[in-house]
Chains A and B, each alone.
Chain A
């Protein structure tokens, strides 16, 4: 949606440094994300992937550098303006982060009630649609505590889609899911991204799903605390010679073999 309205690069990260107090997590990160692409933020555990994501979605003010959203400096904007920009984001948190005192349908409806002037009927229609995208139409009136881990993530995705965001952020979408459920979620991300033309940013170290869906990415290293490689996970796997990246991807190559056959079988 809205491909013609904005330049083709909705998200730029420039010289970004994120830190907790004086402890620098990642420094001087620069990359751009193409509209409609599925962008991977890769790296080993504890290298600062999730922290970078927090700086991108507005949960952690970076120590220096900027995040440009649709050509606008996100962190330089005032509080109200920043919240407005942030409404173009949909974020799926690691464990779904559903509000536990509301039903699944109420979770999806809340952003619509707060930020649109739609009538209750219209909101109900949209909520039903979003839940049917993720296959949870039957679970609309359930409480989050009654859902399984995979269902919770899908409900979280439906909530992230509530306002028809331009950019979707996923924090470890496959963490804690079995391979089959995780693959279904990957397919869902692909469908949604293609269907709405949404730009997707995924933080993950799950190689099978990175290879399957991402077409661009950045590789963060915990030692030098910055990005050491740029490119799609597949490209990095096939032609990157940096030892740290090799070590990460080679482990994936082993896991990749049987998965390949499955892909042919589909």
Chain B
């Protein structure tokens, strides 16, 4: 396919009164010799200044879409904004080219009635408002639905299968141990580092144990674990359910009369609500251990002293707050993932968007809920 043995497309115009003959020559191969522009076609029509332009292909070399595109352009321009329409006589073209032209013209005009509508600013603002309202209603309905179906699940009146729950629990729980350990261990270690440097200045190095203990148990282990799970599991739920939606798997469940909520959403909520507190406790242990190691390494402390200080600082109440948070975060991550996944469109791009939206909603939701927790515990004095 070397362009060397191709000659560039060319034409000559022979005028003869009202008839002009356009003699085409050269090779008209789109990918090699290019496509003629509308300007060139317009110029030919102007030069011709005739009522009929006859195409002559006796010297034409090889051709493909480039030729069809050119003749189609001539035709379209010939009828456009001219006192007298120009006739394009294509009888001289190869039979195959004329058939393709006919195909392009005949099917090209079909169904052109669907014009794109550009909505006004007011319409767009209004639509956004209604979208936002509908979304708020949907989320409220979802939370209510969850509560009702959970109650039904306890009464064993749902389509949830134990095997599904077990599988999802394994994925969400045991599968996350590694990453939860890394994140929490490092958070604990960083806390100890930063705390040790500051507190040592006041000769209060021993209080690193208080700092690490309270920060990890009350806040960081719960938030860190939840964020890891939002990225790891929430995104996966959204992508999984969105793909099921795209493959019509969700429709197949619905046709069988299986409640989507019971079959797909409830097991995931159950899995995260049970696993998140366990992961939280595990994260606490690893986080405190990280802080412990760093404290011993940077400060003049004995292990026994650190542990005693830690025990005095972290009351059982702190664990209760952390556990409560982790349950709520678990439900939030699962709900956001499932809800966004089930609402997603059916294309590959929609799956990606759903996964992104689920992770973003999960992380933002976790931080926002944590703020709510902070205000509430403060007001309650715990």
Contact = CB atoms under 8 A, between A and B. Distances in A.
B69 A125 contact: yes
A101 B348 contact: yes
Contacts of B65: 126, 129-130, 161, 164
Contact of B64 (A100, A118, A164): A164
A130 B349 CA distance: 25
B37 to A, nearest CB: 6
A13 to B, nearest CB: 22
Interface stretch (A137-145, A210-218, A220-228, A241-249): A137-145
Interface stretch (B27-35, B223-231, B248-256, B304-312): B27-35
Interface residues of A, number: 38
Contacts of B200: none
Contacts of A125: 35, 37-38, 69, 73
A250 interface: no
A133 B346 CA distance: 28
A197 B103 CA distance: 15
Interface string B57-80: 000001111101100110000000
A131 to B, nearest CB: 8
Most buried by B among A121, A138, A141: A138
Interface stretch (B93-101, B144-152, B320-328): B93-101
Nearest to A198: B64
B347 interface: yes
Interface stretch (A20-28, A54-62, A172-180, A188-196): A188-196
Given A145-B347, A164-B30, A195 B99 contact: yes
A192 B114 CA distance: 26
Nearest to B111: A138
B99 A194 contact: yes
A161 B349 CA distance: 24
A2 B29 CA distance: 10
A62 B38 CA distance: 47
B107 interface: yes
A126 B68 CA distance: 9
Given A125-B73, A141-B116, A196 B35 contact: no
A118 B35 contact: yes
Nearest to B28: A1
Given A145-B345, A145-B350, A122 B34 contact: yes
Given A101-B349, A164-B31, A197 B112 contact: no
Contact of B103 (A112, A141, A191): A191
A144 B347 CA distance: 8
Interface string B229-261: 000000000000000000000000000000000
Contact of A195 (B31, B103, B111, B114): B103
A134 interface: yes
Contact of B100 (A115, A163, A191): A191
B34 A118 contact: yes
Contacts of A263: none
Interface of B: 29-31, 34-35, 37-38, 62-66, 68-69, 72-73, 96-97, 99-100, 103-105, 107-108, 110-114, 116, 345-350
| Closest 6 A/B residue pairs (Cβ) | A135-B107, A100-B347, A132-B108, A122-B35, A101-B349, A195-B100
Given A5-B62, A131-B108, A163-B31, 12 more contacts: A1-B64, A101-B348, A116-B31, A122-B30, A125-B37, A125-B69, A126-B65, A129-B72, A130-B65, A135-B107, A135-B110, A145-B345
Interface of A: 1-2, 5, 99-101, 112, 115-116, 118, 121-122, 125-126, 129-135, 137-139, 141, 143-145, 161, 163-164, 188, 191-192, 194-197
